[in-house]
């Protein structure tokens, strides 16, 4: 692709390199349009990607109350540890109460922490890692609430809970998460189908992952039917006894 000239001599050189000196006005217009089309196409294709990037960062890079942060400060054990994000967005630690980490991009939260630590050291050396809360329940080995890294996928989160137990249906996994305006959304995930891509979606803060129970013909149909039959038989025996006593 030709760069735009900056001098008159450069424009003249480009003029003859494109062969415009021997063309009429119509041919000249067509030649210039053909030269500029690839450049315009690149600009048009780049704009949507640039518009979507801040949106993706805003969805995945923000902590909420109940999440955690893992802070490691070089040679400062009193500042290091795993701390829960308080309801007001600060860190639940006496020294970190003034540091705001929730509701802002994580890069901003890290900058706030750096500003605070600079009060104690000129050039603080630290590492901060976000940990979001995800509840995993249903037919899993270890149902509980986990603190996971934001890039953890749904499939990896289930694996952290020990995977599904023998009664778990890996083809029927429900992910309940809060959407826009606080409304709950439910995603259906099939862990046995890698081609669907749903198992590789990253978790979000506050997600509830539920592994449904595997369907069984004997347990779901035969056993309830036998229970109904047994109840009807018990009622029949009771009626027969009442009739016998009344004679």
pLDDT in tens, 148-166: 999 999 999 999 999 999 9
Tokens 């027969």 belong to which residue? 240
- Element (DSSP H or E) covering residue 34: helix 25-60
Query: Is residue 1 domain-resident?
Result: no
Is residue 3 assigned to a domain? no
Which of the listed ranges 21-35, 119-133, 180-194 does the model predict with the highest average pLDDT?
Answer: 119-133
Residue 140 lies in a domain: yes
Q: Is residue 95 part of a domain?
A: yes
Q: What is the CATH number of the domain that holds 204?
A: 3.10.560.10
Full residue range of the structural domain in which residue 194 is found: 132-217
Q: Are 175 and 186 in contact (CB under 8 A)?
A: yes
Report CA 137 to chain centroid distance, whole Å: 18
Lowest mean pLDDT among 1-10, 84-93, 120-129: 1-10
Binning pLDDT at 50, 70 and 90, where does residue 180 land?
confident
> Is the same domain home to 91 and 139?
no
Would you say residue 125 has pLDDT above 90? Answer: yes
Count of positions (residues) in the chain: 247
Report if residue 180 sits inside a domain. yes
- Greater model confidence, 241 or 115: 115
CA 85, 119, 74: angle at the middle one, nearest 5?
70
Q: How many CB atoms lie within 10 A of CB 163?
A: 16
211 shares a domain with 180? yes
Span 210-228, average pLDDT: 69
Both 97 and 139 in one domain: the answer is no
**Count of structural domains, the chain:** 3
């Amino acid at each position: 692709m030709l760069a735009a000239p900056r001098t008159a001599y450069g424009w003249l050189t480009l003029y003859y390199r494109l062969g415009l000196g021997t063309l009429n006005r119509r041919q000249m217009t067509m030649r210039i349009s053909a030269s500029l089309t690839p450049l315009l196409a690149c600009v048009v294709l780049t704009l949507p990607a640039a518009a979507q990037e801040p949106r993706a960062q805003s969805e995945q890079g923000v902590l909420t109350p109940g999440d955690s942060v893992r802070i490691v400060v070089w040679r400062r054990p009193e500042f290091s540890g795993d701390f829960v994000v308080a309801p007001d967005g600060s860190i639940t630690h006496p020294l970190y109460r003034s540091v705001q980490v929730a509701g802002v991009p994580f890069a901003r939260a890290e900058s706030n922490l750096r500003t605070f630590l600079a009060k104690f050291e000129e050039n603080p050396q630290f590492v901060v890692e976000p940990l979001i809360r995800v509840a995993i329940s249903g037919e899993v080995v270890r149902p509980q609430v986990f603190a996971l890294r934001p890039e953890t996928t749904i499939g990896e989160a289930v694996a952290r809970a020990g995977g599904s137990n023998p009664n778990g249906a890996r083809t029927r996994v429900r992910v309940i998460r809060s959407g826009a305006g606080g409304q709950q959304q439910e995603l259906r995930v099939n862990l046995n189908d890698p081609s669907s891509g749903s198992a590789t979606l990253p978790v979000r803060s506050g997600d509830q992952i539920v592994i449904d129970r595997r369907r069984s013909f004997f347990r779901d149909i035969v056993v309830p039917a036998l229970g109904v039959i047994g109840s009807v038989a018990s009622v029949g025996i009771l009626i027969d006894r009442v009739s016998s006593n009344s004679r």
